[in-house]
Amino acid sequence: MTAGPRLFSILRQGPYLIASIHTALDDSQLVRFQEDLIDQIGRYRARGVVIDVAALDVLDSFASRMLRDIGEMARLRGAATVVVGIQPDVAFTMVRLGMDTGSVATALDLEEGLSSLERLMNASPGRRT
């Protein structure tokens, strides 16, 4: 049985993971993304995660909930999470439908997301070195 092509990538950059979703994912692909990302947080002892959703022009309620869940799971594994690249139309729709990212931080783009992680790490009293 083949797993099929990867529709997302997870790259390590120093103490952080950068996870990019390249195209809309169905529910099973979102679950695979979540499992892979949480696994790699432990494998690489990541202190932070940036999830880039810039390629998405739709973010449904399941995907929105998955982002919140990933953020919470990452936090429990010792990593902060920042979601970046939410398109204007996606943000508008999320607000209109009452969806949000919960306590997961957001930023405009990858550069601001990495800066946010740096600030979160520097402000965290129990941060790992």
In this prediction, residue 4 carries a pLDDT of 60
pLDDT value of residue 120? 86
User: pLDDT tens for residues 43-59?
Assistant: 999 999 999 999 999 99
Q: What confidence category does residue 1 fall into, taking pLDDT thresholds of 50, 70 and 90?
A: very low
The domain segmentation of the chain, as residue ranges, is 8-116
Q: How far apart are the first and last CA of the chain?
A: 41
What span, in angstroms and rounded, lies between the C-alpha atoms of 16 and 49? 6
What does the alpha-carbon distance between residue 59 and residue 65 come to, in Å, rounded to a whole number?
10
Fold classified for 8-116? Transcription Regulator spoIIAA (3.30.750)
Q: Please state, in angstroms and rounded to a whole number, the distance separating the CA atoms of residues 129 and 126.
A: 10
